[in-house]
Structure 1
Amino acid sequence: MDFPVFTCFVFCLFYICSASPPNFVLFFADDLGFGDLGCYGHPSSLTPNLDRLAAGGLRFTDFYCTSPVCSPSRASLLTGRYQTRSGIFPGVFYPGSIGGLPLNETTIAEVLKPLGYATAAVGKWHLGYGANGTFLPTKQGFDQYLGIPYSHDQGPCHNLTCFPPDVKCFGWCDIGAVTVPLVHNDSIKQQPVNFLDLERAYRDFATNFIITSAKKKQPFFLYYPSHHTHYPLYAGTGAAGRSLRGPFGDSLFEFDSTIGNLMATLEGMGMINNTLVFFTSDNGPELMRMSRGGNSGLLKCGKGTTYEGGMREPAIAFWPGVIKPGVTHEMASTLDILPTIASLAGAKLPPVVLDGFDMTDVLFQNGKSKREVMMFYPTDPTEKLGLFALRLGKYKAHFYTRGATHSATTPDPDCPGIAVLKAHDPPLIFDLEADPSERYPLPLEGRPDIQAVVAQIEAVKVQFEATMVFGESQISKGVNPDLEPCCTPRCSPKPTCCHC
């Protein structure tokens, strides 16, 4: 197969001349906060493998997702487009959701497929299931898939085992839906899923994919959206009880161990020096779970909010011999991953409006980011309200603020759901370099310099919103219980009979 000359140029540019196109491994944690990893300052998290990636790679301090909840954030990651364009709002998909990520949206996998890449997804999809699996990863450019097609709390869990030997899951999860299925490609392999064995199954699947691709000498893209550390927390025998942090720490350690295993596989197959590994998370921590939820560190609030704790994430890029170890304070986003991968592979970009930028200057040359602005949409964006917040350079302006149930239990009164929607005119403005915790709004009176910043931000907002075309809401299409995945589809009574 023929690969673009650009690929060899990129490798020669960074002192690794090779005719082989690069591989890509993308790890995506779930509900992980800015302060949850050891390398981001948590004193009791056990994350030795991620800490090693951070020590040997590039650690981001100003990296953002696009939504403080799962489905829209995942849509943006895979398409390089704000979720408003693809219609992945309001909220998230459910087991019986009628809609899904539109098939005319182009994912990273579909960008790479024309170049002969093998593609696989393992873990949490959460971009729709649909009639007969219409919206599964295998319909969106992935050759293979093993995982739960939505969030693993979207089904009853009170009688399931989450920790060995037989420690039941904490909480009840969603009642009235089918038990959570494990799907292989487009078929249900197990229902309900066995949490104690789930991470091993994922690890084995991902390991086999890497080994098979290496033996075929075929470039590959592995997308690993983990369920860790979303509620309900779980961990198998190799991780349970290992962390000082309790169930959350054990869950995180299990994912970290899988990352270590897959890195060892890349090294053992001789692929480590030809693979870009990227790690980040979908949104901030679910603070309402208290010690069983994540930690946003010094950032304000968490999941469900457009404060920094809801949308600024840990992020690590690792590529031995290509990415120099260090820390970058340049602004970047999950939106930037698709254009970056396309640039490195020499792939064509989709012929649509993209909101991401190529990060290669940041990754390889410690250069400046092309991203100057980050937009913040709430979980339920509307054209009438528009953006809730906007970051320009080091300044962030809040046009609206609102708490979220996901961020309850914190002492900050701005975080829980009882903190109702407030409009701010002029906007609240913060200097995120001096005040990343968003505690001290900058005064406008007597500060012509800050007034000028606000005017510039408002001009950028007007310009952006004038060009934003909202896609048809896929989540508003509603839910049909008959679409809930069931391994015995004609059984009765549902949902309890869906068991295999």
Structure 2
Amino acid sequence: MECVIVGFAVLSVCQAAALPNFVLLFADDLGYGDLGFSAHPTALTPNLDRLAADGLRFTDFYSTSPVCSPSRASLLTGRYQTRSGIYPGVLYPDSIGGLPLNETTIAEVLKPLGYATGMIGKWHLGYGANGTYLPTRQGFDHYLGIPYSHDMGPCHNLTCFPPDVKCYGYCDVGTVTVPLMNGETITQQPVDFVHLEDAYSNFATDFIRSAAQKRQPFFLYYPSHHTHYPQYAGWKSVGRSLRGPFGDALLEFDSTVGNILQTLEETGTLDNTLVFFTADNGPELMRMSRGGNSGLLKCGKGTTYEGGMREPAIAYWPGVIKPGVTHSLSSTLDILPTIARLAGAPLPKVQLDGVDMTDILFNHGAGQREAMFYYPTDPSEKYGVFAVRMGKYKAHYYTRGSPQSGTTPDQDCQLISFLKYHDPPLLFDLESDPSENYKLNVKARPELASVLQNIKDLKDRFEASMQFGESEIGKGTDPKLAPCCNPECSPKPKCCQCLTTH
């Protein structure tokens, strides 16, 4: 019998033993300072706080991009988005491209072992002709959700909060209204935001119960739309937080997390389930109080400062992962190889950028990640990575502001802060200065010259290994591809039958 020994836990990977279950929670546009356990004074997140108190909380955890689609690609594949071609920017309803089908997702890693695979929420990795890039084509047996961001459609006349509070803003007015899909079928268009989270919660709990009844291991991926703009919430959450619309949306997400945990307990699967929570990128500060909070970190969404890519993260597994805090450098890239190790699944036969986190999870060890490389929203071989973190040090080779972080008083975050090359690079000690306020004086501290040289060597080796895939977003758009089954849709592609709301 082959067994993997991880610290004090002995995890059997033989078929005779019960394979572990996995629940992956992925928030949207959530800042480092947005949650109750990260000391936001009016955030109401009791279930996430429970995970943080009883699980392992990461202080130095990173996404690979400061925007949505590329960060999701790297989460699911364990590879930087530049390899799979999910750049520059994000995919749209009418995008021709999507996550290439030859990329291997976490769901595709687990399915050959007999896992049930389910997803609820925001996909944002392509729709394509005839649903080419939907989750059901990428390893997921079951899917209920919106195939892209829920602001990618006109929303000004839709209800975001009961009884009839209209969505704040106009969202994208140049495309079809946002659809809700069950599998590959549109069941509602435009989506009913007030009841959407109830549908997600019910779908998730039914999925867990079904797998438990069949004694089948399962993988549930829940990339929430919360707390992306425009915020929305249903009757159970509206008006309950002190933080306004953002707080109510965050509470609704937290409530679904609570329902998932309760279902795991009721089905007797909690003690055999790794629950992992993190987020795709930092807060959209241009929305001000409706956009989230990066806490003590600099800037937010759209930037390669810490606020754009450093995220809250928690690993929770009762009786297996000891509660605590880790400062080990980790990333969304590391989730696929970690899950593969725990399930005893072979890794994809491609170059991975993720590393196994089991030493961190079970021993609270230092982990295997040597560095983190920060790509901008529009990565290119010409400029390469904008910044590198090695240990406690971070070197910025390029800096640039973003309209998505444009309302902050810090001019470095704003759009007027144009691309700037730094030679020598700006160097910060993130342990003593996580806000990136005080650049280190390399001339006054000669010992830092070797730090910069080591970082440069890492950067050079990494960039030499990087092969940019063909840009999927660069393939352009075709309005006929936008999913639509409402007779009022314009353009109206060839489509299905669906229930509509008006």
- Give yes or no for contact 1:375–1:391 (8 Å, CA) kept in 2: yes
One-letter amino acid matched to 1:363: L
CA positional deviation for 1:446: 3.0
Question: Aligned residues, how many?
Answer: 494
- Give yes or no for contact 1:402–1:421 (8 Å, CA) kept in 2: yes
Correspondence for 1:57: 55
CA positional deviation for 1:316: 0.5
Residues 29-44 of structure 1 aligned to structure 2 (within 5 Å): 29-44=27-42
- Give yes or no for contact 1:488–1:497 (8 Å, CA) kept in 2: no
One-letter amino acid matched to 1:211: R
Correspondence for 1:123: 121
Q: Which structure 2 segments of 5+ residues have no match?
A: none
Does residue 1:74 correspond to 2:72, yes or no? yes
Correspondence for 2:109: 111
Cα distance in 1 for residues equivalent to 2:407 and 2:395: 25
**Among 16, 19, 22, which residue is 2:20 paired with?**
22
- Give yes or no for contact 1:177–1:495 (8 Å, CA) kept in 2: no
Q: Rate the CA distance shift 1:483–1:329 in 2: closer, same or farther, 3 A.
A: same
One-letter amino acid matched to 1:408: G
Cα distance in 2 for residues equivalent to 1:242 and 1:488: 34
Q: Deviations over 1:101-148 (max 9, x none)?
A: 000000000000110000011100000000010000000000010000
**Among 467, 487, 490, which residue is 2:485 paired with?**
487
Q: Rate the CA distance shift 1:205–1:452 in 2: closer, same or farther, 3 A.
A: same
Does residue 1:303 correspond to 2:298, yes or no? no
CA positional deviation for 1:11: 8.1
CA positional deviation for 1:444: 1.2
Correspondence for 1:405: 403
- Give yes or no for contact 1:279–1:315 (8 Å, CA) kept in 2: yes
CA positional deviation for 1:10: 4.6
Cα distance in 2 for residues equivalent to 1:370 and 1:14: 19
Cα distance in 2 for residues equivalent to 1:420 and 1:52: 42
Instruction: Give the secondary-structure state (helix, strand or coil) at the position aligned to 2:413.
Output: coil
Correspondence for 1:344: 342
Over the matched positions of the two proteins, sequence identity in percent amounts to: 71
CA positional deviation for 1:16: 7.3
**Among 164, 167, 176, which residue is 2:165 paired with?**
167
**Among 285, 289, 292, which residue is 1:291 paired with?**
289
**Among 235, 238, 247, which residue is 2:236 paired with?**
238
Residues 310-459 of structure 1 aligned to structure 2 (within 5 Å): 310-459=308-457
Correspondence for 2:100: 102
CA positional deviation for 1:13: 4.9
Cα distance in 2 for residues equivalent to 1:323 and 1:481: 48
Correspondence for 2:196: 198
Q: Rate the CA distance shift 1:492–1:178 in 2: closer, same or farther, 3 A.
A: closer
Residues 269-280 of structure 1 aligned to structure 2 (within 5 Å): 269-280=267-278
Cα distance in 2 for residues equivalent to 1:466 and 1:320: 42
- Give yes or no for contact 2:4–2:10 (8 Å, CA) kept in 1: no
Cα distance in 1 for residues equivalent to 2:38 and 2:344: 33
- What is the TM-score with the length of structure 1 in the denominator? 0.97
Q: Deviations over 1:269-296 (max 9, x none)?
A: 0000000000000000000000101100
Q: Rate the CA distance shift 1:15–1:461 in 2: closer, same or farther, 3 A.
A: closer
Q: Rate the CA distance shift 1:141–1:129 in 2: closer, same or farther, 3 A.
A: same
One-letter amino acid matched to 1:327: V
- Give yes or no for contact 1:176–1:495 (8 Å, CA) kept in 2: no
Cα distance in 2 for residues equivalent to 1:468 and 1:496: 38
Q: Rate the CA distance shift 1:69–1:493 in 2: closer, same or farther, 3 A.
A: closer
One-letter amino acid matched to 1:255: F
Q: Rate the CA distance shift 1:451–1:235 in 2: closer, same or farther, 3 A.
A: same
Q: Which structure 1 segments of 5+ residues have no match?
A: none
- Give yes or no for contact 1:179–1:495 (8 Å, CA) kept in 2: no
One-letter amino acid matched to 2:82: T
Q: Rate the CA distance shift 1:167–1:492 in 2: closer, same or farther, 3 A.
A: closer
Cα distance in 1 for residues equivalent to 2:180 and 2:424: 49
CA positional deviation for 1:63: 0.2
One-letter amino acid matched to 1:337: I
Instruction: Give the secondary-structure state (helix, strand or coil) at the position aligned to 2:412.
Output: coil
CA positional deviation for 1:372: 1.5
Cα distance in 1 for residues equivalent to 2:432 and 2:312: 19
Cα distance in 2 for residues equivalent to 1:139 and 1:30: 23
CA positional deviation for 1:493: 4.6
Cα distance in 2 for residues equivalent to 1:449 and 1:464: 24
Cα distance in 2 for residues equivalent to 1:430 and 1:245: 33
Correspondence for 2:152: 154
Cα distance in 1 for residues equivalent to 2:263 and 2:151: 31
Q: Which moved more, 1:13-22 or 1:429-438?
A: 13-22
Q: Rate the CA distance shift 1:495–1:287 in 2: closer, same or farther, 3 A.
A: farther
Q: Deviations over 1:53-92 (max 9, x none)?
A: 1000000000000000000000000000000000000000
One-letter amino acid matched to 2:173: I
Cα distance in 2 for residues equivalent to 1:453 and 1:285: 31
Cα distance in 2 for residues equivalent to 1:15 and 1:377: 37
- Give yes or no for contact 2:160–2:232 (8 Å, CA) kept in 1: yes
